[in-house]
Structure 1
Amino acid sequence: ARGEIVAFTDADCLAQPDWLVELTRPFADPQVAGVRGKVASDAPVTLVEQFTHQADPLGVEALGGLLSMITANVAYRRRILEQVGGFRSEMFTGADVDLGWRVQQLPGARVVYAETAVVNHKHRTTLSGLRRQYQRYGFSEVMLDALYRGQPFYRRSPRRQVVTMARQTAALFRYLLSFVYRATRSLLTGWDRQYVLWPLLWLAADGSNLLGKIQALIQTRFFTRHPARGGQEVLQ
């Protein structure tokens, strides 16, 4: 990239015609270092796509107290990228969030959300794809916890993460009970595929997310080191 502004999107995203114009518009303010755009769903068709659309894992979220700047839809000033050293090459997942957090810690640097800069994301269409995606989300979340634990800006402590994991574990049993109830009820009222299978999709997503977190806990020795290398093999 040679321009003053460097924009990113992913291979599974389709940018709207005015995406780049809207994404770069906030840079008229010289204090703006980065811009996060909106990631919308690309016409969900399968049940798995519909689930991901409603779960909205790529929505705007302030993870750890800072805006999550994912490469599905983001732009930075080139000099800012050079100043922070770009992506950490040793990170195979979560590197975009890490980059955004490092940018936001620069003195005087601002990042903003541009809702009118839209890309449409093609969600995973199969259950196996959904499980791999959520497993990676969980792994990268704990990996970032290990990297940023103790930082003044970081609000998600290891204890908070462990509490979240305990709640996720309890939720798995609720999903199973909900599935049994819905399946039994449907025998009497008529079969509704989405109504019956929805808890199983949550079970697959949350269970895979929890598995990724457990794998990352092992890799980080319970948040005490950053597993920059070797994590990719764990998730394969």
Structure 2
Amino acid sequence: MIEANHVGWKVGGARILEDVSLTVGAGELLGIIGPNGAGKSSLVNILSGVIRPSSGRITLQDRDVTRASATRRARLGLSRSFQTSALFDGLSAGENVRLAIQASGPAPFSPFRRAGAASGARTEDLLERVRMPGRATTLARDLSHGDRRKLELAMALASEPKALLLDEPMAGVSAEDVDGLAEIIGEVRDSGVAVAMVEHHMHVVLGLADRVAVLHHGQLLATGSPSEVTRDELVQQAYLGEAL
């Protein structure tokens, strides 16, 4: 579903990513880990079209999207979340989701288009999917941080994506909310969506991921199953410390 081939990115004379190649298949969750500054968020931005790589090629369902905009990639079935919350705080949870649904349709913000009953039912379905039933009228600003993350996930799923990029979905989430979010993300993967997730909670990555990619100084240090990666001596030295 998603493939990066020999991707590199330079800013001025600084090389942020170098020769990174990885794939994510339908119904697979790829965990992307590494120390701060390894290039994880930069890779997500390149995969989603927020920034363009200096070298290499990005494909989505075997279609070359290297030079395609983020909007074009979204239309082709790619969705993402961001490291920091990106909600309309003055709108309700339901209104945030309805905007995401409308944005994924034809003529999304035409003044002549009105949200119908189907949109309302879809909104409720998405909120239930992320364990937020009955919260449609709650203002986004009044939600707990964990529920804000769930709402962002509902918005990312509004377009019924085939591929989903998650940039630290557990960032700032309380310990009691982490497992619930992990369960939702696992269900998304199990529904057939290709998921690539940057995350620092190692127990989440090791518990959810089918494969793990480790970035270090902008390069791909290792890729493999969670057990293979945690046994890798280079990974232990660079990131994990003692063997897990």
Q: Tell me if both proteins adopt one fold, taking TM over 0.5 as the criterion.
A: no
Higher strand share: 2
Task: Determine which structure has more spread, i.e. the larger CA radius of gyration.
Answer: 1
TM-score, normalized by length of structure 1? 0.27
